[in-house]
Structure 1
Amino acid sequence: MQSLPSWLIGRVAARGRGLVAEALAEQGVKMMHHAVLAAVSELGPVAQADLGRRLVIDPKDLVGILNDLQADGLTVREPDPRDRRKNAVTVTPAGQDLIERCAAAAETANAQLLAPLAPAEARRLMALLARLYEA
């Protein structure tokens, strides 16, 4: 099994996700909450329904995540100025600060994942993974 690239890639990906999840947990945020917060930061203000479609998250799950983020003061939901029937989600300054801390934590976790490799090997691995992803 360890000779199958799909198995090895899956195991390395699981380890990487675990390292990042631990790093995010140290910042007080879960993976899905971070994914939603980062997407809102990138896309926002964004209609709640559009956000759910972009992230492929069930609407009721998204509502729960957004409720958590809003209760923590990380996002706000207000009527969408383009369509008052919809809610637009925006990141607060506290949410943006958390995103920046999480980015640094995720970078450290990814460095830990790649630590067994020499810098040139890590760059080569990233290039090869990008080629596989884009194929």
Structure 2
Amino acid sequence: MSDGTPDMASSTDRPATAARLRNLGTRLLSLAAIHSDRLVNEELARVGARKWHYAVLATLDEFGPASQSELSRRTGIHRSDMVAVINELADQGRVERSPNPADRRQNIIAVTEQGHRLILELDSLLAEVENVVLAPLNPSEREELTRLLAALVDHHGRSM
């Protein structure tokens, strides 16, 4: 509560929370992120995907074929982890590797038609999760929250 008094929850509601906890933005952000992350991971796992799969496929879909190092920079996925992600997606037929004509030591990763179909499925699935997580907010509040979160992420230098 904004007046500094603890929440006075009824016996049918959640337990009362100390005002200093209820008004601590970093705590609230963490709790919301934990809930959101759990739902995203569960729904992606239901269709055999992971967040890193989505990040790679979305990046390839938007920017086109790229080297593994470029994908690493654009997604924020560490290079050593990127190899495993690309291997998983390639084994599933969602991306393909081809030698870079400019540097034969490097592979270029491209999304396949199967990968395009998956990204569309994941876009829909994640939109549903976002609707669940952000259910209490109206459309303008959702836009404002997204804008504020992007400002925090940009300020702290984390790749989106």
What's the TM-score, normalizing by structure 1? 0.84
Measure, in 2, the Cα distance between the counterparts of 1:49 and 1:104: 28
More divergent stretch after superposition (52-61 vs 122-131): 122-131
> Within 5 Å, which residues of 2 pair with 1:33-72?
33-72=53-92
Measure, in 1, the Cα distance between the counterparts of 2:66 and 2:141: 39
Residue 81 of structure 1 deviates from its aligned partner by 2.6
How many equivalent pairs are there?
135
Could you tell me which runs of 5 or more consecutive residues in structure 2 were left unpaired when the two chains were aligned. 1-20, 156-160
Measure, in 1, the Cα distance between the counterparts of 2:25 and 2:39: 21
**Whose RCO is larger (CA < 8 A, sep 6+)?**
1
C-alpha distance after superposition, 1:57-84 (max 9, x if no partner): 3333211111111010000010013322
**Identity within the alignment, %:** 37
Q: Larger helix proportion, structure 1 or 2?
A: 1
Could you tell me which runs of 5 or more consecutive residues in structure 1 were left unpaired when the two chains were aligned. none
Asked whether the equivalents of residues 60 and 66 of structure 2 are also in contact (C-alpha less than 8 Å), the reply is yes
Which among 112, 115, 126 is matched to residue 135 of structure 2?
Answer: 115
SS of the counterpart of 2:99? strand
> Within 5 Å, which residues of 2 pair with 1:86-97?
86-97=106-117
Q: Which amino acid aligns with 1:64?
A: A
Counterpart position of 2:33: 13
Q: Which amino acid aligns with 1:9?
A: L
Asked whether the equivalents of residues 52 and 77 of structure 2 are also in contact (C-alpha less than 8 Å), the reply is no
SS of the counterpart of 1:85? strand
Query: What RMSD over aligned residues (CA atoms) do the two structures have, in Å?
Result: 2.1
